[in-house]
Structure 1
Amino acid sequence: MSAFCEHTTKQKILEELSDFKIANQDVRQLHILVHGPIAAGKSSFISSIASVFKGRMVQKALAEAAECDHSFTKKFSTGKLRDKDGKVLPFVISDIMGLQGAEAAGARTDDLVMALEGHLKSGYCFNPVGSVQKEDTFYNSCPNLNDKVHCLVSVLPGDKIGLMETEQVHTVIRKLREIRKKASELKIPQVVVMTMVDKACPEVSKDLKMIYRSKKIKEKMLECQNKLGVPMNYIYPVKNYSEEGELNNDVDTLLLYALKNILNFANDHVEDQLDN
């Protein structure tokens, strides 16, 4: 399912990332955009990544509970991340309002397309019934490569992916596919982060090291592939921090493994722009 193996450790990945260099001098920080249905774990994923680098629990965004029927994220938010020594990390992650089944609810696909193209400024307040306008304060009329998204991350809940068969969920999947299609046209790399793996498989809930051996997790990844059309080797199962009070090496390793690949894909993308 993946190149991930027992020899992949938190420390090994951190050492690799410590030498990370952006391949294009016109880019100050790689720009990652996370999107997905409400309660999929988008904000928790960002906070979990921030926690790993800080070495302690931090809250970068207010995360919604799994049973919540609305998105807690109302604004387009892009902020710097720092490590435990206060050093600014070479990437930023943008959080958006969750996608919903109703057409006039949640984030609009055209706003997400604007975000991909670099037209949305951090702080833009999502309006489910109307997209950003060119005269809006938070509209960037002349985005440069640094403003644009360098990798698109779709976040899906592993424990619920097989239940996504209602009409509203089909609408969410359609929106996700539309956004992926636009990202493909822009040649922006795309991955899926599959969250809540501990709830998807009892075996993994007991031991996260079993995640890439679990038949249940592989089934869930196949369902993600079938619904979004993302190849298996670009789907990363993770567990976000949700109940824990302390960091856990196994949780950190999965998060860092996903992030390392996301950053490499993003870096390949900005490097390709040198030839254009």
Structure 2
Amino acid sequence: MIFFLSQPWRKINWQDKQTDLQFVKNYKPQVKGQQLRILLHGLVGAGKSSFINSVQSVLQGRIPNTFYPFVFNNIMGLGPNKGVLVDDVKLALKGHIKDGYLFNPVSQISEDHAFYKTFPELNDKVHVLVLVICADKLPLLTDKFVKELLEIRKAASDLGIPQVALLTKIDQACPEVKEDLKNVYKYEYIKKQMEKLSAEVGIPMNCIFPVKNYHEEIHVDNDTDALLLSSLRSIITLYFTMSEK
């Protein structure tokens, strides 16, 4: 049985996505020339590439000739057979792996590899780590996968890298949300999945964001945009807040 809450437990201004869009437009890094590097990781097929493409769809053409000082990196997914090695993720966090490297699921990158950067600069290092995971796959998390996530999370925490999580494919996990995306914070099922993820990997609830990526649509949608922009604004805000400390 799915329980419907009378009031949403988290507020989203569905009618005013322009505020979040303007926030993203106005964001300027504290260090001149810095790019906010956001690394996405998670299980194979979690929707990492789709999220990046969806954000691009939201921003494309809406603010002409605007340079956005953030960069998304999509790393090979973790998997039971041929997934990215945890040690390679740790090196990526430190900026040792150049853009364009094809990760080897059976062998860690060596220091003499052409795509290994011995002395990373500020823009090479990861500034925010984003875990991407499907809402309908949470009940299937294995102990091995959780252990790898915790190891990556600890490495990021030791480096002072703030972390968030995106709960994707919420429309597939909950038919009522597929029917009306504005119900996302009214259905207890979605909240329970977020609480489960928080308990498993230790990411606080206020750093977990349910989103719906574009995958079949040919036109952008206001409600989908609102969730995507809200999550992007939260990622930027989290980094800004952490860097102020």
So what's the TM-score if we normalise by structure 1?
0.81
Q: Could you say which residue in structure 1 is the equivalent of 2:85?
A: 108
Secondary structure in 2 matching 1:146: helix
8 Å CA contact 2:14, 2:223 repeated in 1: no
In 2: Cα distance, 1:93 partner to 1:110 partner: 20
Q: Deviations over 1:199-227 (max 9, x none)?
A: 11121111111111111110111111122
Q: Could you say which residue in structure 1 is the equivalent of 2:5?
A: none
Shift of the 145–270 alpha-carbon distance from structure 1 to 2, 3 Å rule, reads: farther
Q: Deviations over 1:156-201 (max 9, x none)?
A: 100111232xxxx322221111100100101100000000001111
Q: Could you say which residue in structure 1 is the equivalent of 2:12?
A: 5
Shift of the 263–22 alpha-carbon distance from structure 1 to 2, 3 Å rule, reads: same
8 Å CA contact 1:6, 1:209 repeated in 2: no
Q: Could you say which residue in structure 2 is the equivalent of 1:85?
A: 64
8 Å CA contact 1:161, 1:220 repeated in 2: yes
Structure with the higher helix share, 1 or 2: 2
8 Å CA contact 1:151, 1:189 repeated in 2: yes
Q: Deviations over 1:52-80 (max 9, x none)?
A: 1015xxxxxxxxxxxxxxxxxxxxxxxxx
Amino acid at match of 2:224: V
The yes-or-no answer on 1:126 pairing with 2:132 is: no
8 Å CA contact 1:24, 1:271 repeated in 2: no
Q: Could you say which residue in structure 1 is the equivalent of 2:4?
A: none
Report the CA distance between 1:124 and its aligned residue.
1.0
The yes-or-no answer on 1:51 pairing with 2:52 is: no
In 2: Cα distance, 1:251 partner to 1:242 partner: 11
Q: Could you say which residue in structure 1 is the equivalent of 2:46?
A: 40
Amino acid at match of 2:137: K
Amino acid at match of 1:152: L
Range with greater deviation from structure 2 (196-205 or 3-12): 3-12
Q: Could you say which residue in structure 2 is the equivalent of 1:230?
A: 203
Shift of the 106–138 alpha-carbon distance from structure 1 to 2, 3 Å rule, reads: same
8 Å CA contact 2:177, 2:183 repeated in 1: yes
Q: Could you say which residue in structure 2 is the equivalent of 1:19?
A: 26
Amino acid at match of 1:40: A
Out of 236, 239, 243, which is 1:266 matched to?
239
Secondary structure in 2 matching 1:160: helix
The yes-or-no answer on 1:178 pairing with 2:151 is: yes
**Structure 1 vs Structure 2: percent identity of aligned residues?**
44
8 Å CA contact 1:158, 1:196 repeated in 2: yes
Range with greater deviation from structure 2 (259-268 or 185-194): 259-268
1:63-82 paired onto structure 2 within 5 Å: none
Report the CA distance between 1:267 and its aligned residue.
2.8
1:140-219 paired onto structure 2 within 5 Å: 140-164=117-141, 169-219=142-192
8 Å CA contact 1:195, 1:239 repeated in 2: yes
Secondary structure in 1 matching 2:228: helix
Secondary structure in 1 matching 2:226: helix
Give the unaligned 5+ runs of structure 1.
Answer: 56-82
Secondary structure in 2 matching 1:209: helix
Shift of the 33–2 alpha-carbon distance from structure 1 to 2, 3 Å rule, reads: farther
Q: Deviations over 1:6-49 (max 9, x none)?
A: 46632121122222111223x52100000000011011011111
8 Å CA contact 2:128, 2:161 repeated in 1: yes
1:219-258 paired onto structure 2 within 5 Å: 219-258=192-231
Give the unaligned 5+ runs of structure 2.
Answer: 1-7
CA RMSD of aligned residues (A): 1.7
